[in-house]
Structures are given as structure tokens and as C-alpha cells.
Structure 1
């Protein structure tokens, strides 16, 4: 489980063998089954979760009980309700498992201790947060300014893993479209 995390970290910063070994002591390893909740809205988010295996989604339920997907997390991705985690407020997001998952979880206390004992991990997390902010800004621009077809084509080009691994109803929710709209777009593109 830790090989993927350490590899992910090594892409951003250099860890020596001792640091990599120490890093492991700050995480809890957990297995989750398909459809199992990692976090439910209303609870306080206790962990940042690194996905070693599987696929997760974070979402809200709208007033009609329809899922509005915020993000997916594949192998090598982090997921959490960051506002809840950082501010210890009730979560607004649900996080559950789409495909059986192996997660590495770190609580706030261990996170703080990790960054004290391995200071360069502060840089690693800063890089992650910067990238996350850029991604969310870009997603907001796409959501507000692209047509339904442009949104879908952008996803196909930039996140083919999503298109290949996820059913179109989840992709539709992520893009803010109906499954019928996704079907029409796919059919139209097939005949182009």
C-alpha cells in the first residue's frame, strides 16, 4: 500500500529511506468495500485519505436527493472534505467507494507531527494544495462557460481514465449534466 504513496511523494519531493520508513508510522491502513462510506455529510472529517487502490467519489445530495459529484479519486489521489478536516466542522460532502479500495488515512494530529518530523512534507502538501486550487478554478471556469458537448470532450481529452472506468451516469453527475445528455453527446460523436 505504501509503495504508491511513496512513489507519489517522490514525484514532488525527495525522501530518503529513513524518511520514507518514518512516514509509514503516521498512517492507518484501511480496506473499504464498494458502496461503503468513508465519510457521511454531517460527520466531522477525521482523515485525509490517500487511495492506494480503488476509486472513490465525493458528492453532495441536492434537495431532491440527487447526487452532485464534486470529485473522483483514483489510485494515487487524495480525497477528503478539506473544510471539515481543517476546521473540524461538520462535513458537507459524502465520500464513498465506487470500486473496492485500499486507503491510507492520516488524522490531523499525525499530519501535524509528520510535517514536524519530516519538514519537507510541508512542501509536498503545499504543492498538492496549489494543484488542487488550480484544478478547482479550472473546473469552475469549464462548468460555467463550456457547452455540454465541450465539457464532455474536455473530460475525454484530459481525463480519459474517468471515461474508461466510470459509468456514464456518474460522469453526467460530475459534469452537471443528465445521463440522457451524455448519451446524446456520445451518440453524436460516434457518428461524426
Structure 2
């Protein structure tokens, strides 16, 4: 594990949990370092998602392809964020999603089994992951609600406010897909700004 990757991960754990030095050693031994090159897949549809990933540096997207061959982006995650297909990860059923690196990325990963062991070894971490998974659930509901009730302009403005750096690092065609609009609509919205 890289020193900076370890520090980033522990920063977020310590933000929500009181972690001792002994706990830290146990936690870090549960995670593996991995890397992925730009345009390579971390997960493909039909495979079971075996890991929960913490992105120490880089940018990834998760998406599915509909019956017409159109990609729909579900998540775009950058440095210091988690990415996975939680449904597949917890149910151990095949994933409906791809996870692809948009940049060369450095990750820390933990398997379902190791995560369960970690809950037993460091019970304080259950609180952190409960909060993390609650936020993931709320985020999914907010995205669903936004596509049903917010205008494309509002969705764009919210993304620009919450993730301005995304527009520097992610191709606009992917941002349009994430917002649920066409690239042409995104271009029109951006011209009006």
C-alpha cells in the first residue's frame, strides 16, 4: 500500500470513528493496493463484484448498456471516494454494471469476507460503513428523484456546484449521460452560462 493511499483511507475512517493504532494496523492489513489503466474495466457486467474500492487517485465510472446498446452512467467517482456495485457486492449475484477507469487510477480494495472480518475485529468501523452505505442509498434516491423532477439545467447546475473539478477531468459525453441528457443538450446548457 502506498503511504499516501494509507493516509487518505485512514483520514476518512478517523473522521467518523475513534481508531487506535492497533485498529489502524488491522484495517490496513485488510486492504489490498491495486491500480488500473485508463480505459480498462475493473468490473464487467455478468461478473460478481468481489470488492469495495477506495480511490486514492484517479477517476472511474460505473455504467450499464441498455438493450439498444446505449450506455447509461450510474456513478462517476474521483479521488477519495468509494466505488463498487453494492448490490452485486452484498448479494454476490452477477453485476449489471461495468466499472471503467477514466484515468490511470490507484485503488485500495477490500473483499466482502475481509469487510465482515473487519467488522468483528474493529467494531467501530461498522459505524463508518453504515454511514457510508446510508449516504450511497440517499445519493441513489436523490439521483432518481432529480431525473424525475428536476430540469436538465438544474441537474447541470447542481453538478457544477458540487463537483466543479469533474468538468476538467471527465469527457462531456459522460457527464451528459450521468445527467440523463444528450451531449447536444449539455452543449446548449453550457452555452447559455
Alpha-carbon shift at residue 145 of structure 1 (Å): 0.7
Alpha-carbon shift at residue 15 of structure 1 (Å): 0.9
CA distance in 2, matches of 1:148, 1:67: 18
CA distance in 2, matches of 1:158, 1:3: 24
Q: 1:141 aligns with which of 141, 145, 164?
A: 145
Alpha-carbon shift at residue 89 of structure 1 (Å): 0.3
Alpha-carbon shift at residue 55 of structure 1 (Å): 0.5
Q: What aligned pairs does 1:155-166 form with structure 2 within 5 A after superposition?
A: 155-166=159-170
Q: 1:5 aligns with which of 1, 5, 9?
A: 9
Q: Deviations over 1:133-177 (max 9, x none)?
A: 121111111111111111111111222222232121110010011
Q: CA RMSD in A?
A: 1.0
SS of the residue corresponding to residue 25 of structure 1 reads helix
2:56 paired with 1:28? no
CA distance in 2, matches of 1:102, 1:133: 25
Alpha-carbon shift at residue 22 of structure 1 (Å): 1.4
Show structure 1 runs of 5+ residues with no match.
Answer: none
CA distance in 1, matches of 2:119, 2:44: 27
Q: What aligned pairs does 1:106-125 form with structure 2 within 5 A after superposition?
A: 106-125=110-129
Alpha-carbon shift at residue 2 of structure 1 (Å): 1.1
> TM-score if structure 2 supplies the norm length?
0.94
SS of the residue corresponding to residue 167 of structure 2 reads helix
Alpha-carbon shift at residue 29 of structure 1 (Å): 0.7
**What is the aligned residue count?**
189
Q: Which stretch shows the higher mean deviation, 170-179 or 135-144?
A: 135-144
Q: What aligned pairs does 1:38-49 form with structure 2 within 5 A after superposition?
A: 38-49=42-53
Q: What aligned pairs does 1:68-83 form with structure 2 within 5 A after superposition?
A: 68-83=72-87
SS of the residue corresponding to residue 11 of structure 1 reads helix
SS of the residue corresponding to residue 52 of structure 1 reads strand
What residue number does 2:61 align with?
Answer: 57
Q: Deviations over 1:5-47 (max 9, x none)?
A: 1111112112112211211111111111001111000001111
CA distance in 1, matches of 2:162, 2:33: 30
Show structure 2 runs of 5+ residues with no match.
Answer: none
2:166 paired with 1:178? no
What residue number does 2:134 align with?
Answer: 130
Q: Which stretch shows the higher mean deviation, 62-71 or 171-180?
A: 62-71
SS of the residue corresponding to residue 156 of structure 2 reads helix
